[in-house]
Amino acid sequence: MKSVMFVCLGNICRSPMAEAIFNKLVSDANLSHKITVSSRATSTEERGNAPHPGAQKVMRQHHLNFDGFRSQPISQEDFETADFIITMDNQNIVNLNRMAPANTAEKIRLCLDILPDHRGEEIPDPWYTHKFDYTYEMLAMALPAWLDVVKKSL
C-alpha cells in the first residue's frame, strides 16, 4: 500500500482539490486498494474548516467527491506514513522541511516538478488569486504523471 499526501498552506483550496482529483484518478485506475490519498496543511489556522467555496464550486463542476472533508494540519506521524508528500509551492517545502524528521525530507516534492516544462513552477494559492479554475487545470495536468510514478513504486 502506498500513501500519497498533498500539502498546501491551509488545506482548504489546492490540496483538497488535488486529493479529490487524485482519488478519482486512483479509483478510475482500479487502484484504491493499493493507494491511499490524503491532504494536509502546513498551518493550523483553517483546522476543521471545509474547502473554500471557490474550491467546492470547481470540484462540483468536475464531479469530484469532497464529502466530509475538513482541513487538517500535517502531523509527525504523517511524515512517517506518507510515501509521497506533494506540495503546491516553495514556501510549503520550506515549512515542511522545518517540521519534517531528517529521514523524511526526500519524500517532499513540488507538484509541478513532475512535468519537465514546468519544473520549479508553483501552483499559486487561489485563496489570494481567486483563480480556482486555473488551479484545477494545473493539478489536472500534473496529477496523471504523479499517478504513473506511484504505480511504478507499487
Catalytic residues: 8, 14, 125
Q: At what angle do helices 14-28 and 53-61 cross, to 10 degrees?
A: 20
| CA 98 to each of CA 76, 108, 119, 148: distance values in angstroms, whole numbers, following the listed order | 12, 12, 22, 29
Cα dihedral 31, 108, 40, 122 sign: negative
Q: Strand, coil or helix: what is 70?
A: coil
CB 43 within 8 A of CB 7: no
C-alpha cell belonging to residue 104: 523524511
- Residue 23: how many CB atoms within 10 A of its CB? 20
